[in-house]
Each structure stands twice: as structure tokens, then as C-alpha cells.
Amino acid sequence: MVGDNSLKVTIILGTRPEIIKMSPIVRECERLHLDYFILHTGQHYSYNMDRVFFEQLELPEAKYNLDVGSGTQGKQTADMLIGIEKILQKEIPDVVLVEGDTNTVLAGALAAAKLGIKVGHIEAGLRSYDRSMPEETNRILTDHCSDYLFAPTSTSKQILLHEGLLQKNVFMVGNTIVDAVKQNITIAQTKAQIQSKLNLQNEFMLATSHRQENVDSKFHFKNLIKGLQLIQNEFKIPLIYPIHPRARKQLQLFGINPTGLTLVEPLNYLEFLQLESKAKLVLTDSGGVQEETCILKVPCVTLRENTERPETIGVGSNLLAGTSPNRILAAAKTMINKSKNWTNPFGDGNAAQKIVKILKTKACANKSRKLA
């Protein structure tokens, strides 16, 4: 991992989507023999939410794992902040990289910024304008304490500029999820066994839901499941729901019985990509899944009232449906036979290369100034 001593990079991650979306950055650091290491907060820790992605994507072990585990918003973030600070004080990297909007991202950015270490935020400038979501607070605060803002699209770039962030710090580079999809789709489609394992020879649909605002509310979660059942009843094809541990816990707590749906444990990335790319329709509240369906040209219905990925709505790959059962059914009817001639707004699959190149230029220049 050590080679180019001109730049020392710390990649901070902690959850499933961060491991997947950071994987192209890790590969690029490896390719260029950069001096970098991974710091894992341990926000996700179950095998199928964490380790499986390191194994499958052949990522190097994290140098540190804080094992913070689950907790309230404040405690989880605070535990990470304390642990990350100690490591950064010891390692003194030139730049810390975080991606997305989880508590890990905010804690990583804040710990680095307070120590005067440069922060690069990948996936900067996304806004749902819904402050009831913990992710929206994380996005805004992370953007405003970052030095390098890697916006995926022109929309996110404009949002950052309107919020007063300096143009010289904002870089439109696409989203690393395109890189990850391109790097893995062929092997997912040809080698993953999940379609045959679930006996899905013909058409099927795929759903995911785990967002706090949906699954922690009995009213919303019950309605969402009812909406999925209405769709399954209408189209009479299997609807597969790989269930996130948070959603699993809440289903049990609320005593909701999802009859008719095919619930499976969370899938590994290749399995999920295989089902996602071959599904007739995907229903989700996930951010990453809204992006991936758009890239894979699969119609998507988003089980939320808003999205920080408005580009998907703009190009026509995605429709917002909230959690009301009849609205979910209506959106599914609109999307299921939609023509898939939209263009992917998230870039060409070279985001990781662009990000690392910018870092090498900017952060190295900054380092030379400091040393001079």
C-alpha cells in the first residue's frame, strides 16, 4: 500500500454502500501505488452487510476497525469521532476521503477538519431538503467542512455553489457507483447464482427498504408492505425483498406479515447486481439503488416523498411514490412498461480516476506550500 510518498490518503468507510462505492477509489490507489489505508468505523458489522463486500470486491483489510456498532445517532457519531481522531493524530494523513451521507461520513469529515487535515467529500452536493432525515444533516455538514467537493452531476455542483461553497473547491466528476457497476456487472450477470437459486426463470421484481423514516414508523412500514403486496397481486410475478437488518428487526417489532413477498437475507454485491439488472421493476428507498437502476436501465419506483437524486426523475428512470399503497401501485403501473431510452446522468465510470488525479494535484500542491 505504500509507494508514492508524496500523498498520504485515509479512506474512511463504515457501511455497505460506502464499501461498494469506495471500492473503485481503493483500486485506483492500488493501481497508482499510493500511500493509503482504510479506516473502518464498524457502523455495519454483520457478515452480509460488511465483510462479504471486502471478500467479493477483493479489497485490502482495513488497517483499523473501530467496531463502534449500532447506537443512537449521537452516541454512534460521537464514538466514531473519538476513535477516528486518535487514529488521524497518529497517522497524520494529507487527506481524508469520505463518500455519501452516513454517520460514518460526518464523523470522518468532522474529525479530520478539526485536526486541520484536508477532507475530500465524494458525492457532495446532494440534497433532499428534508431535514427529518439523518442523512440530510450529514450531507450538509460534511459538505461545509470539506476542502475538495466531488459533485457527481451538474445539479449537485450548482447546489454547492448556491450554498456559497467556493468554485475552486468543487469538481464535477460523476459518481463512483458507475465505476463499481461497470467493474462488476459482467461477472454478476454471468457468474452469480442467485437467479437460479431463487428459481427465477421468468419475470420478477426486486424491492429494498431500510430507511429510518419508513421502517421505524409502523404506519409507513405497514403501508409500504401493503403497496408491495398490491403490486405482487396485480402483476402476479415474484417480488424479491432482500431485507436489511434494520427492516427485519422492525417487521418483527410491528408484527407485520409480508405474505406474498419473497424475503431473503441481504445479498452480496454480485447477487444483488444480477437481480437488479434483470428485474422488470425495482422498488426502493435506497440512494444507491436509485442510481444503479438508472445506470442499468431498469425502471425504479422510489418509496419516499423526496429524493436527493433528482437526476433520476429528470431522465425518467425513477418515480416518487411515498408509502401510500395505491400510489405505489399506480407508480408501478406507470413504470413497469416504460421505454428505457434514458441516458445515465452519473458519469462515464471514470470517477475514481478523476478524483485521485485531482487529489494528487491539489493536495500535493498544498503540501509543498506547507513545507516551503
Spell out the SS3 assignment of the chain: CCCEEEEEEEEEECCHHHHHHHHHHHHHHHHCCEEEEEEECCCCCCHHHCHHHHHHCCCCCCCEECCCCCCCHHHHHHHHHHHHHHHHHHHCCCEEEEECCCHHHHHHHHHHHHCCCEEEEECCCCCCCCCCCHHHHHHHHHHHCCCEEEECCHHHHHHHHHCCCCHHHEEECCCHHHHHHHHHHHHHHHHCCHHHHCCCCCCCEEEECCCHHHHCCHHHHHHHHHHHHHHHHHHCCCEEEECCHHHHHHHHHHCCCCCCCEEECCCCHHHHHHHHHHCCEEEECCHHHHHHHHHHCCCEEECCCCCCCHHHHHHCCEEECCCCHHHHHHHHHHHHCCCCCCCCCCCCCCHHHHHHHHHHHHHHHHHHHHHC
| Residue 102 CB, nearest approach to ligand UDP (Å) | 7
87 binds ligand UD1 (CB under 6 A): no
Q: Does 209 bind ligand UD1 (CB under 6 A)?
A: no
Q: Which of 5-13, 27-35, 225-233, 284-292 is the region at the interface with ligand UDP (rule: CB under 6 A)?
A: 284-292
CB of 267 to ligand UDP, least distance (A): 4
Select 137 or 366, whichever has its Cβ closest to ligand UD1: 137
> Does the protein bind ligand UDP through residue 287 (CB under 6 A)?
yes
Which residues fall within 8 angstroms of residue 146, CB to CB, at 6 or more apart?
Answer: 109, 113, 119, 120, 121, 124, 169
| Residue type at position 303 | L
How many chain residues interact with ligand UD1 (CB under 6 A)? 20
Q: Of the two residues 95 and 151, which places its CB atom closer to ligand UDP in the complex?
A: 151
Catalytic status, residue 210:
yes
Among 10, 153, 208, 317, binds ligand UDP (CB under 6 A): 208
* Contact partners, residue 74, CB within 8 Å, separation at least 6: none
Residue 266 binding: pick among ligand UDP, ligand UD1, none (C-beta 5-8 Å cut-off by kind)? ligand UDP
Q: Work out whether 127 is an interface residue with ligand UD1 (CB under 6 A).
A: no
Question: Is residue 349 a contact residue for ligand UDP (CB under 6 A)?
Answer: no
245 part of the interface to ligand UD1, by CB under 6 A: yes
**269 touches ligand UDP (CB under 6 A):** yes
Q: Which of 7, 13, 20, 68 binds ligand UDP (CB under 6 A)?
A: 20
Closest CA to 173 of 146, 149, 152, 148: 152
* Residue 9 C-beta: closest distance to ligand UD1, Å: 22
Contact status: 16 vs ligand UD1 (CB under 6 A)? yes
- 134 is in the binding site of which of ligand UDP, ligand UD1, none (Cβ under 5 to 8 A by kind)? ligand UD1
- Closest approach, Cβ 59 to ligand UDP, in A, equals 14
Nearer to ligand UD1 among residue 135 and residue 291 (C-beta): 135
Q: Could you say which of ligand UD1, ligand UDP, none residue 208 binds, taking C-beta under 5 to 8 angstroms by partner kind?
A: ligand UDP
Pick the closer one to ligand UD1 by CB: 210 or 354. Answer: 210
Closest to 38 measured CA to CA, from 59, 16, 68: 59
Q: Does 292 bind ligand UDP (CB under 6 A)?
A: yes
Is residue 249 a contact residue for ligand UD1 (CB under 6 A)? yes
- Taking the least distance from each CB to ligand UD1, the nearer of 73 and 89 is 73
44, 210, 220, 244: the catalytic one is 210
Residues that bind ligand UDP (CB under 6 A): 16-17, 20, 208, 210, 242, 266-267, 269, 272, 286-289, 292
Active site residues: 210
